[in-house]
């Protein structure tokens, strides 16, 4: 049941696609989780230029890489999030500053991504949903249950037609449970799954780094949502609360050593990956372990190689025999 180790290209979109493929091949990666932005995969071009996807597939093949999942986190965020000027960083020039046009673009982009995934031979799209109620996460001014309920209903209304298109293309959506999403912790994830009536289209892109700083044990998240784990991100986090530093980040940028926590290269943080692998073995997860490298305190090429080596080492299979099976007569 050896799981493939892949590279999420979202943090490498400043490099052209072939350069990333070459880098991944040199290190030993089995494949990529391809980001649908930057210089890696343009959804509109993929559906209008017959040669475009052919060239992407050829580059993957030339570097002995496969693709099990596409990522469209940025467009997905724009579907459900309330508009603010930061959203303009994620959208085409022609819709910037127009909340209605941005939402229309994002919904269509996610639908089209499922078509590209089908053509690419992928079964999973990872991403975000956005949230119209994230700014109410701290209940002052008071946040009534009616506000929260309306927010979840809004997400269901927005994403149901997107998921209908996913179903037509045989694609599942793996939501990364994450701050600023409608599902950001245990109970919001449970609520979202229930609101979609356990629709099989919706699952989870498990990423322990977003859970640990909230006080959630990531391996127990796998246990509780075992049927919904569709994809796995490998990302570490270092937590260092010393009495002055808080978990809300103090408006300090990632990498600032005064933050209460920072993302780390694999093996340099506090995530218990051994328990995570044991839980993944227990649920018989055999999909990719996709390394999402985010560590502003370490050279990224050095960190990526170290992260790959760590993931390779920790990616053990379950035993095929009981240790005490030879003790009987």
Tell me if 236 sits within 8 A of 267, measured CB to CB: yes
Which pLDDT value is given to residue 1? 57
pLDDT in tens, 28-56: 999 999 999 999 999 999 999 989 999 99
Q: Which of 2, 3, 38, 4 is nearest to 20 (CA)?
A: 38
Give me the residue label for tokens 């990529």. Answer: 32
Q: Residue 158 pLDDT > 80, yes or no?
A: yes
How far apart CA 257 and CA 296 sit, in angstroms, is 10
pLDDT in tens, 104-113: 999 999 999 9
How far apart CA 56 and CA 48 sit, in angstroms, is 14
Residue 96, Cβ neighbours under 10 Å: how many?
14
What residue spans define the domains of the chain?
5-314
Q: Residue 328 pLDDT > 80, yes or no?
A: no
pLDDT in tens, 181-226: 999 999 999 999 999 999 999 999 999 999 999 999 999 999 999 9
Report the share of the chain in percent with pLDDT over 70: 98
Global pTM value: 0.96
Alpha carbon distances (Å) from 206 to 61, 177, 235, 258: 27, 7, 10, 27
Which pLDDT band, with edges at 50, 70 and 90, does 329 fall under? low
Which CATH number does 5-314 carry? 3.20.20.150
């Amino acid at each position: 049941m050896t799981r493939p180790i892949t590279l999420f290209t979202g943090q490498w979109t400043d490099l052209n696609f072939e350069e990333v493929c070459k880098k991944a091949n040199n290190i030993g990666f089995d494949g990529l989780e391809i980001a649908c932005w930057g210089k890696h995969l343009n959804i509109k071009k993929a559906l209008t230029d017959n040669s475009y996807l052919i060239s992407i597939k050829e580059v993957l093949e030339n570097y002995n890489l496969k693709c099990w999942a596409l990522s469209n986190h940025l467009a997905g965020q724009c579907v459900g999030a309330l508009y603010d000027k930061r959203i303009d960083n994620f959208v085409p020039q022609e819709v910037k500053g127009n909340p209605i046009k941005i939402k229309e673009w994002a919904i269509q982009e996610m639908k089209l991504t499922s078509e590209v995934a089908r053509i690419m031979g992928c079964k999973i799209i990872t991403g975000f949903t956005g949230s119209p109620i994230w700014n109410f996460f701290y209940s002052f001014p008071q946040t009534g249950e009616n506000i929260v309920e309306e927010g979840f209903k809004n997400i269901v209304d927005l994403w149901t037609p997107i998921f209908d298109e996913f179903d037509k293309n045989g694609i599942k959506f793996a939501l990364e449970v994450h701050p600023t999403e409608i599902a950001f912790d245990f109970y919001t994830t449970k609520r979202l799954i229930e609101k979609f009536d356990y629709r099989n289209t919706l699952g989870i892109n498990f990423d322990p780094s977003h859970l640990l700083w909230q006080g959630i044990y990531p391996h127990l998240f796998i246990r509780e949502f075992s049927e919904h784990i569709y994809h796995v991100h490998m990302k570490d986090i270092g937590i260092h609360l010393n009495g002055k530093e808080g978990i809300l980040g103090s408006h300090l940028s990632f990498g600032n050593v005064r933050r209460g926590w920072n993302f780390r290269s694999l093996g340099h943080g506090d995530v218990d990956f051994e328990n995570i692998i044991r839980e993944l073995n227990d649920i018989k997860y055999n999909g990719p372990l996709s390394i999402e490298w985010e560590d502003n305190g370490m050279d990224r090429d050095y960190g990526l190689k170290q992260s790959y080596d760590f993931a390779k080492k920790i990616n053990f299979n379950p035993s095929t025999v009981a240790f005490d099976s030879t003790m009987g007569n």
